[in-house]
Structure 1
Amino acid sequence: MALVAFAANSVLCRMALSSTQQTTPLIDPSSFTAIRLTTGALVLWLLMLLRPSKTDTNNSTRRGSLFAAGLLFIYAVAFSYAYVLLDTATGALILFAAVQISMMVISHIQGQRLTLLEFIGALLAFAGFGYLVLPGVSAPSLTGLVLMAISGCAWGGYTLLGKQSRQPLFDTGYNFIRTLPLVMVMIGAVWLLSVFAVTEPMSHFILSPLGILLAILSGGAASGVGYALWYQALRGLTSTHAAVLQLTVPVIAALGGVLFLGETISIHLSISACIIFLGIALVILAKPKQIKI
């Protein structure tokens, strides 16, 4: 469910921010990010009210962290601005390539080593990942690539922090709530830049009812609830499993593009999906090494 929510974010964001010579975006990236994070915080706050914590609920400093909130904000902002310049499949591919690299590098530094079967599975999944992007996707915008890579690295760090979570709903909720001051700073900065007209048109405020609805769906369901589910799932996954499982998201997002954005399905997409899932199966079936502390 969490992985489907991740893919839904890519589809919803692209639907809201895409533009052509005939059409304009339904919403600007800063407004999309602000509504997404605010809605996510509100939905999670309501869920926390319905499910009180077993421990002291008055001490919010024990839920989530400022560092995790900062990574969440960086991920969301870079994600939105990148999808102004990238299509659904390309954006998801770049995002989760950066996620896998950052998570595996950090895990390696922390002392987690791959077994032979995990290593083969990871290579196979990456091979399918590369096969998906290279034959059928044109070279992406350099600015979009850099922004999405930054977003992916931030999400990789956020995922690793989530492995330490004992109360996923509350940790995710307070992380979202802590992003709200940063959201206000972002909106103020974009407003000032718009006033002085030193930014590109995509940085100015654009709002439409459908664009606002897409941002609300992204924040309330795909982000708020989806990320709480992901923090819950992380409790039963190793860092390697969590990293490789996320390689399914570009495939799901590509299928979402076919269904909702009019993209065409191809044979190489189907083949790459099979390769990716085979690699994931090898990683999941592999017995992780025991690390002595």
Structure 2
Amino acid sequence: MSSIPLTLTTLLALFAFAGNSLLCRLALQHTLIDASSFTSIRLISGAAMLWLIVRCRNGYVRQAGNWTSALALFTYAACFSIAYVSLPAAVGALLLFGAVQITMIGYGLWTGERLRRLQIVGLVSAFIGLIGLLLPGLSTPPLQGSVLMLGAGIAWGIYSLRGRRMNHPVQATAGNFGRTVPLVMILSLMTQTDFTWDSLGAGYAIISGAIASAGGYVLWYKALPQLHATQAATVQLSVPILAAVGAIGVLNEPITLRLGLTSIAVLGGIALVIHRGRNEVYSGQLQPQPLKNNQNYRLEIK
């Protein structure tokens, strides 16, 4: 892959991931669709698109994925949607991203990895940034939505950790999405009293599932083997920023001083953890060297 297609592919994937936050917030804030229905349509449309992509690429769909990863994926998607009923898009993206990264870095520490001094400063900065965002004040995001989004980030971190050794990531992702279908049916039955339908909201959910999720993952997996670990980890820092810029332009959401300062603390702290030293804590699906086709890697952004 030449540098121009690689750059374009990477940018499109990052815009797709940021777009998920905007689409979810747009649907739940500006249409009548309920969060459970949005989640169901998103996951089912993502499963259908990934099945089609795998079918067209390989001529057959091999059995891949597992139920534990599918449960983590479902938990992420459900908490993500319910949280965005009350959270602004930019705040939600920052909470999600911070929780994912801290979960995966924390796992590295728990399994014996060690941080250098400046990396410790970065990790503490990220924690302080998240805590500062949630401290009481006029611009404090709703507590329930914040807790749910942090839960979504933890679930996605677990999903990423479980999938980091996949040899066929697109097929495994398709299998995991497919396994969420019975789970979303159960969710729909449990929340049928809150059911509200909106065709525009359903359209946003389909775009989120089939394009921003399924399409974004395929693009990212295409670009990832050509990126060094630090390159891939660094470009992911742009996703909350892209979501914040999109929230200003698309949703007319204000960017507060608190959000700006906490974003610097969280994203800057994570950047320090990613970049300091040769033996960094494992901070995602990434390996220390450029990845080759069919090596082990896994996506960590939503």
TM-score, structure 1 normalization? 0.77
1:262 aligns with 2:240: no
**Contact preservation (8 Å) 2:61, 2:171:** no
Are the aligned partners of 1:85 and 1:141 in contact in 2 as well (CA < 8 Å)?
yes
Q: Which residue is equivalent to 1:213?
A: 203
Cα displacement (A) at 1:115 = 3.2
The secondary structure found in structure 1 opposite 2:100 is helix
Q: What's the CA shift for 1:12?
A: 0.7
Partner SS for 2:278:
coil
1:256 Cα deviation from its structure 2 partner = 1.1
Separation of aligned partners in 2, 1:108 and 1:275: 20
Is the counterpart of residue 47 in structure 1 residue 53 in structure 2?
yes
Unaligned ranges ≥5, structure 2: 1-10, 282-302
Same amino acid, percent of matched pairs: 45
Measure the CA separation in 2 of the matches of 1:190 and 1:262.
Answer: 30
Question: What residue in structure 2 maps to residue 163 of structure 1?
Answer: 164
Paired residue secondary structure (1:289) = coil
8 Å contact 2:33–2:197 — kept in the other structure?
A: yes
C-alpha spacing 1:122/1:252, structure 2 compared with 1 (3 Å)? farther
- State whether residues 98 and 126 of structure 2, in contact with CA within 8 Å, keep that contact through their aligned partners in structure 1: no
Q: Distance in 2 between matches of 1:290 and 1:123?
A: 16
* 2:39 match: 33
Partner of 1:11: 22
- For 2:141 and 2:256, how far apart are their aligned partners in 1? 19
The structural deviation recorded for 1:150 is 1.4
Q: Which amino acid aligns with 2:205?
A: A
User: Which of 215-224 and 92-101 deviates more?
Assistant: 92-101
Is contact 1:43-1:220 (8 Å) kept? Answer: yes
Give the aligned partner of residue 100 of structure 1: 101
8 Å CA contact 2:36–2:81 kept in 1: the answer is yes
1:138-171 deviations in Å (ceiling 9; x for gaps): 2222221222121111011112223212222111
Q: For each residue in 1:183-234, what CA deviation from the matched residue of structure 2 results, as whole angstroms up to 9, or x when unmatched?
A: 111112222xx1xxxxxxxxx2222221111111110111112234456667
Q: 1:137 to 1:157 in 2, by over 3 A?
A: farther
In the alignment of these two chains, the number of paired residues is 268
- Stretch deviating more after TM superposition (226-235 or 154-163): 226-235
SS of 1:258 mapped into structure 2: helix
Q: What's 1:145 paired with?
A: 146
Counterpart of 1:200 in structure 2 is none
What is the identity, as a one-letter code, of the residue corresponding to 1:144? G
Unmatched tracts of structure 1, length 5 or more:
20-24, 195-203
Q: CA RMSD in A?
A: 3.3
Distance 1:58 1:31, change over 3 A: closer
Task: Please report the TM-score for the alignment, with normalisation by the length of structure 2.
Answer: 0.75
Is the 1:115–1:286 Cα contact (8 Å) retained in structure 2? yes
User: How far off is 1:38 after superposition?
Assistant: 0.8
